[in-house]
Amino acid sequence: MSDTQEHPASKLSTVDKLRLLLDITKTISRSLDLDEVLNLVMDTLGSLIPYDAAGIYLIEFGAEDKSPYIFKSKVIRGYQISFDLIEPRLKLGEGFLGTVAQTGKAIISHDVSKDERYFPARELTRSELVAPIVSNDHVIGVFDLESDRLDAYSEDDLEVMQLLTSQVAIIIEKVRLHDEVVEKKRIQAQLEIARSVQLELLPENDPVVPSFDISAYVFPTEEVSGDYYDWVKVFDDQIGIVVADAVGKGIPAALLMSFLRACLRSCVQIGYAPHIAFSKVSSLLRDSIEDNQFITAIYGLLDSTNKTFVFSNAGHNPPLLIKADGEYRFVEYGDMPLGMFDDTHYHQHFIRFEPGQVMVIYTDGITEAANPNGEEYGNDRFAKRVLDCIDMPAKKMIDHIRKGVADFTERKFLDDDGTLFIVKAE
């Protein structure tokens, strides 16, 4: 627009502008599409405040430095498109955009050529109005208007602009909250599917082994579990037992458990001893997972004829062993977790069961469960709880132990997944 031509908005009274602003607000409040909302704002803004170029920019975190230095242009008008304009690489405090984003205060520049803060994005620009978009006391973006005329913007224009940006901020947060709800529902649906698949991986029944009473259970958190247990019949008098815990929780941990199950079951079919099986599995995991992922596990063979348990421990919690007279100890033998290092070797350990002796394999979700004061359940409290119910059947023991942990934490769900695998010699 030329310097001599008068913009229609300049003829509007304050009441007219407020009425138009109300109409804009009503229009944009009907939509939950952020791009549509911002385009509507820009398309109707010209009836309120004259501009030759304009842009709405939202602050986003940079992928590399994690700093909020990138201004994502959502809607622009009147510019020649270039990479620097679409994604201006201004740091907080640089240019009009960076200054307003940092201070939260609007800028009216009557002559940009005399303002050292100005970042030249457009040759014809002579004056500029930049206002922050503020939500919950935080600047989430900036609204930029540019004119080819000097001294194009006034304090009245700024007031109208600030009223508009406050409504835009509300709409942006409304859209974001809606998107979060939609995303949460999508993730929840995925978690439910993952939970269903994971439960299918667990044994349907407890193993029936001569001279032993055996039961196992996973106490889930509110997310998909990273814990896993399994048993596999090797011979009529021998089963393989595994209890494992993947680092973290949720879908990534559950996927690791699926991988472990497939690998160990293959090792059982081949006939690998526990320490050889763990070496094979660890190498496969090391080639397939990231450096910060690993699995702790115990895998062993329970022989009902000889009443022995030969096992390897890959960085897992030590099994609890309790004699019939109440004497107990934690079997503190173990090697590195699965998938943590290359060429890891594992050792085998041996337990011979006496009549009435109990072995409990568990995960740290049990012993590290904390009460409201931050105190952990701990090994000693855990062992004493097992002793309290040692004369019960294995399945009843699990219920008793679970209730003890729940009473201690005062919570229905654990902070981390918890698994119990109880083996009682008769």
Cα–Cα nearest to 41, from 28, 53, 31, 32:
28
- Tell me the mean pLDDT in the region 271-290: 89
Q: Are 258 and 230 in contact (CB under 8 A)?
A: no
Instruction: Flag whether pLDDT at 187 surpasses 70.
Output: yes
- Whether the CA torsion 410, 215, 242, 250 is positive or negative: it is negative
Cα–Cα nearest to 47, from 70, 72, 19:
19
Confidence band for 84, pLDDT divided at 50, 70 and 90: very low
- Whether the CA torsion 177, 179, 180, 186 is positive or negative: it is positive
| pTM of the complete model beyond 0.85 | no
Percent of all residues in the chain with a pLDDT value above 70, rounded to a whole number: 84
Cα–Cα nearest to 228, from 249, 263, 257:
257
Q: What phi, psi does 419 have (nearest 5°)?
A: -130, 140
Tell me, what's the pLDDT at 230?
94
The full set of domain ranges for the chain reads 8-180, 202-425
CATH number for region 202-425? 3.60.40.10
- Whether the CA torsion 387, 391, 395, 396 is positive or negative: it is negative
Q: Which of 1-5, 293-297, 320-324 has the lowest mean pLDDT?
A: 1-5
Secondary structure of residue 146 in the 3-state scheme:
strand
Q: For residue range 223-263, what is the model confidence (pLDDT) as tens digits?
A: 666 788 999 999 989 999 999 988 766 667 777 888 888 89
CA of residue 93 relative to chain centroid, distance: 32
Q: Which residues contact 268 (CB under 8 A, 6 or more apart)?
A: 232, 234, 240, 277
Q: Which residues contact 257 (CB under 8 A, 6 or more apart)?
A: 198, 201, 225, 226, 227, 228, 244, 246, 295
- Whether the CA torsion 191, 197, 202, 203 is positive or negative: it is positive
Instruction: Flag whether pLDDT at 367 surpasses 80.
Output: yes
CA of residue 316 relative to chain centroid, distance: 25
> Which whole-number Å values give the CA distances from 169 to 17, 39, 58, 140, 180, in the listed order?
19, 14, 10, 8, 16
Q: Which of 66-70, 347-351, 420-424 has the lowest mean pLDDT?
A: 66-70
Residue with tokens 């939609």: 182
Instruction: Flag whether pLDDT at 3 surpasses 50.
Output: no
User: CA 229, CA 209: separation in Å to the nearest integer?
Assistant: 17
Q: Are 80 and 96 in contact (CB under 8 A)?
A: no
> Which whole-number Å values give the CA distances from 331 to 25, 222, 353, 359, in the listed order?
69, 31, 13, 10
Residues facing 77 on adjacent strands: 54
DSSP per residue, 50-65:
--SEEEEEEEE--TTT
Q: Which two tokens stand for residue 222?
A: 């509110």
CATH topology of domain 8-180: Beta-Lactamase (3.30.450)
Instruction: Flag whether pLDDT at 94 surpasses 90.
Output: no
- Work out the end-to-end distance of the chain between its first and last CA atoms, rounded to an integer number of angstroms: 95
Cα–Cα nearest to 368, from 403, 328, 336, 405:
405
User: CA 331, CA 385: separation in Å to the nearest integer?
Assistant: 18
User: CA 143, CA 124: separation in Å to the nearest integer?
Assistant: 19
Q: For residue range 163-172, what is the model confidence (pLDDT) as tens digits?
A: 888 888 887 8
User: CA 197, CA 193: separation in Å to the nearest integer?
Assistant: 6
User: CA 338, CA 105: separation in Å to the nearest integer?
Assistant: 55
User: CA 341, CA 204: separation in Å to the nearest integer?
Assistant: 34
